[in-house]
Amino acid sequence: MDLTSGYPYWPVKHGLLQTYPRLDEDLECDVAILGGGITGALVAYHLLEAGIGAVLLDRREIGWGSTSATTALLQYEIDVSLTDLSEMLGASHAERAYLACRDAIEKLERLAKVVGADCGFERKRSLYLASRKRDREILRTELERRQAIGLAVEWLDETDIGRRFAFSRPAALLSHDGAQVDAYALTHALLQHACSRGLRVYDRTNVTKVDASRDGVTLRTAEGHHVRARRLVFATGYETHEFLKERVAKLVSTYALVSEPMRSFEGWGEDRCLIWEHATPYLYLRTTSDGRVMMGGEDEEFRDPARRDRLLPRKTERLSKRFRELFPALDMQVAFAWAGTFGETKDGLAYIGEHPDWPCSYFALGYGGNGITYSVLAAEIIRDAMLGRPNADADLFRFDR
């Protein structure tokens, strides 16, 4: 499956940050990690830090799946509001999920410091816009629910928005706990760190068959090599449907662009916050540490990669138009545009942990618009499961929730 099309910015900017060999022999290991995107890298980092030996395999170059295409806004606000999630799963489950996602951002900040690379991590506030007057009440309820569990979020009315930003909206929520990152650079930095602790990484190594039994797991590569492992982690992103019978996510195409460096960000608020609007079509914006606008949205159900690619020029034009509507005084020239696929689950929550069809295996499926925060939680949950330690977040993301 083609996960991306066009020119995702991060690999264009960095090229191949590290190269890794193809697997050309049979191997044995404690844990095999299948997938070398941000999720696989976080899992590898956590396992190696816990003293668990691992081998990581990817069919592409490292980070060239969805991780290459991500706009990497880090928000605790998932695709389903706290209000709606509380209705679906009960207040306690929903609140714990929101707080776990908030804490994941802080954990990622610490990790970015530990691995010490320039991965563009910056704390940002996150502005959630109401599109229509009638959204105000919905946002009010959401504000109260979030404040009641200690999330730092403030209400902006039309006047506040007009004072701080170039655009007008009936209301908005300004969350204090957000961030942005360069997930591609972070993936490489995490893997380099884990390699210094003994991780072995093989890219351009396609795993075509997996046999899992109570005695362990055997992976077979397209070249006919075998990896035997006591345990396996699927960090296979949106291609996991090759292994799971049930559809746990609906695939969505999303479109993104990055601008040429901007002369000014006038009208973007004091700290160039993250901006998003859950209207249809969806919209999300950030800036980059090299002074560009990065934005995405215009999501629609994924049918096939060819259709997604055909739509790219039209979607890029629509995104540019929406930028001009928000910031009429800013001259934004598109430098690169691309499309990618992501998955939406029924409740907006990730799927993490064991699955009855796959003995000795764990899934780290950070599905959702904010998949990266889930990847942090997945890495911790899976590490703890392997160490036999309890993890307070594990039940939030079980397959049988």
Ligand X SMILES: Cc1cc2nc3c(=O)[nH]c(=O)nc-3n(C[C@H](O)[C@H](O)[C@H](O)COP(=O)(O)OP(=O)(O)OC[C@H]3O[C@@H](n4cnc5c(N)ncnc54)[C@H](O)[C@@H]3O)c2cc1C
Q: Contact positions toward ligand X, by CB under 6 A?
A: 3, 34-40, 57-60, 64-67, 69-73, 206-207, 235-237, 239, 254, 256, 296, 340-342, 366, 369-373, 375
Helix, strand, coil percent values for the chain (each to nearest 5): 35, 30, 35
Say which amino acid occupies 22.
R
CB 52 within 8 A of CB 250: no
Residue 148 or 222: which CB sits closer to ligand X? Answer: 222
Nearest-approach distance from CB 305 to ligand X, in angstroms: 12
Nearest-approach distance from CB 219 to ligand X, in angstroms: 8
Query: CB-hemisphere CA count at 13 Å for 164?
Result: 17
Residue 192 or 370: which CB sits closer to ligand X? Answer: 370
Q: Report the residue number whose CB is nearest to ligand X.
A: 371
Cα–Cα distance, 131 to 154 (Å, whole number): 17
Nearest-approach distance from CB 364 to ligand X, in angstroms: 7
Q: Which residues contact 155 (CB under 8 A, 6 or more apart)?
A: 139, 140, 143, 171, 173, 174
Residue 239 or 384: which CB sits closer to ligand X? Answer: 239
Nearest-approach distance from CB 192 to ligand X, in angstroms: 16
Kindly report the number of other CB atoms within 10 A of residue 300's CB atom.
16
Cα–Cα distance, 8 to 257 (Å, whole number): 8
- Dihedral over Cα of 51, 65, 349, 129: its sign: positive
Taking CA atoms, 249 is separated from 37, 153, 320, in Å, by 18, 29, 29
Supply the angle between the helices 91-115 and 82-89 in degrees, to the nearest 10: 120
Nearest-approach distance from CB 133 to ligand X, in angstroms: 28
Residue 202 or 327: which CB sits closer to ligand X? Answer: 202
Give the containing element (helix H, strand E) for 358: strand 358-365
Residue 365 or 386: which CB sits closer to ligand X? Answer: 365
Nearest-approach distance from CB 211 to ligand X, in angstroms: 13
Nearest-approach distance from CB 264 to ligand X, in angstroms: 24
Which of 15, 54, 3 has its CA nearest to residue 31? 54
Residue 57 or 330: which CB sits closer to ligand X? Answer: 57
Residue 39 or 86: which CB sits closer to ligand X? Answer: 39
Nearest-approach distance from CB 180 to ligand X, in angstroms: 8
Residue 58 or 277: which CB sits closer to ligand X? Answer: 58
Nearest-approach distance from CB 276 to ligand X, in angstroms: 9
Question: Residue 10 in 3-state DSSP?
Answer: helix
Cα–Cα distance, 380 to 393 (Å, whole number): 9
Residue 158 or 296: which CB sits closer to ligand X? Answer: 296
Instruction: Look up tokens 């069919």; give the residue.
Output: 59
Which of 22, 28, 9 has its CA nearest to residue 219? 28
